[in-house]
Amino acid sequence: MIKPHGSDELNPLFVYDPAENEALQKEAEGLPSIVVSSATAANAVMLGGGYFNPFTGYMNKADALSVAEKMHTTDGLFWPTPIMNLVENAGDIKAGSRIALKDPNVEGNPVLAVMDVEGVEQISDDEMAAMTEQVYGTTDPEHPGVAAFNAQGKVALSGPIKVLNFSYFQSEFPDTFRTAVEIRNEIKEHGWQKVVAFQTRNPMHRAHEELCHMAMERLGADGLVIHMLLGKLKPGDIPAPVRDAAIRKMVELYFPPNSAIVTGYGFDMLYAGPREAVLHAVFRQNMGATHLIVGRDHAGVGDYYTDFGAQEIFDTIPEGAMEIEIFKADHTAYSKKLDKVVMMREAPDHTKEDFVLLSGTKVREMLGKGIAPPPEFSRPEVAKILMDYYQSLNG
């Protein structure tokens, strides 16, 4: 099985021992505490589940700046995006403090993790702007990822953490949320050696479904992990429970039994395009996938990134930095000429009119009116779930 990134064994930071977990919960009641940002909470969940292996906690300023600029920590570990605990004001917290990190996304702000603070460092406006530009490719405050990153504050708390729960992800998505540890175990149980991961924050249309079949066939893969983001999205994105139901229906009806598993992870979308594509690859390696499908404008938003920037960035990565491999996909669409879904670059004799192409806006409009998109675009059973959701919005 593929090794985790940066170590021989996966090192999840969740405290699995019930007695130790309970003792830490009790201790946390008497510790100084802060309610962290949603991004910091998501980082804790990813560290807890082993997705951000081999890190033991939040990065200090030097590592965060190095990762943003050069995609590696100061000691040379390859990593594409900073893992930070940024606050507006550290108050009395200083190096050597032990603190409780409280969850901003759950009522009552329960303790998410206990942290041993090793550093409290001010990030300058210039450093913040440089990190933003390097990770997101822009400093435009209208970019949802840029806005979320810069809204947290400019004081970095660094140091190791022990994670006590998985926020709302485990309770709200009990059938879907899985840690990297659990997915590795499931891959082992299936006996899969070559495993393709598919990242999604949207329901899957015919083109996505066929892309997964194509990747599995061309790579000779044993299994597919459909891995959906369950955290915070931008307004207008389809909520996770609806997405989950639609994807499960598609897998149940259109994939051979035991060839695909539907899972999710607890992280907020960065919309960081190429850099986030690399992050997606690294943590998919940690969960046991050997390949990740990277498509057109992977993890992008608006017009901030080029169509294939998220594929091209992998050509710049030092050899041996990651073990996982990338399956580079073009835009896929239904060909009326060939009566099947194809990658558009593989049909050079086609014009735009030869494909069934619908914009996201047009599809949402149709679903809202109770009109199913054509079956070449969306499976009818999937469209039904989405129509019900959009019509419920229109009341």
Task: Give the Cα separation of 43 and 195 in Å (integer).
Answer: 25
Please indicate whether residue 296 is annotated as part of the active site.
Answer: no
Longest alpha-carbon distance in the chain: 69
Could you tell me how far CA 128 lies from the centroid of its own chain?
23
Residues 372, 380 contacting (CB under 8 angstroms): yes
- Catalytic pick among 11, 21, 109, 202: 202
Q: What is the 3-state secondary structure (H, E, C) of 186-250?
A: HHHHHCCCCEEEEEECCCCCHHHHHHHHHHHHHHCCCEEEEEEECCCCCCCCCCHHHHHHHHHHH
- Catalytic pick among 98, 201, 248, 364: 201
**Distances in Å between the alpha carbon of 247 and those of 109, 182, 183, 258, 318?**
31, 20, 18, 15, 35
Structure letter (DSSP) for residue 152: S
DSSP β-bridge partners for residue 33:
100
E strand intervals along the chain? 33-35, 57-58, 86-87, 98-102, 111-116, 119-122, 155-163, 195-200, 223-229, 260-265, 291-294, 325-328, 332-335, 340-343, 355-356
SS3 303: coil
Please indicate whether residue 202 is annotated as part of the active site.
Answer: yes
DSSP β-bridge partners for residue 78:
72
The pair of structure tokens assigned to 183 is: 């997915």
19: CB partners within 8 A, 6+ apart: none
The catalytic residues are: 201-202
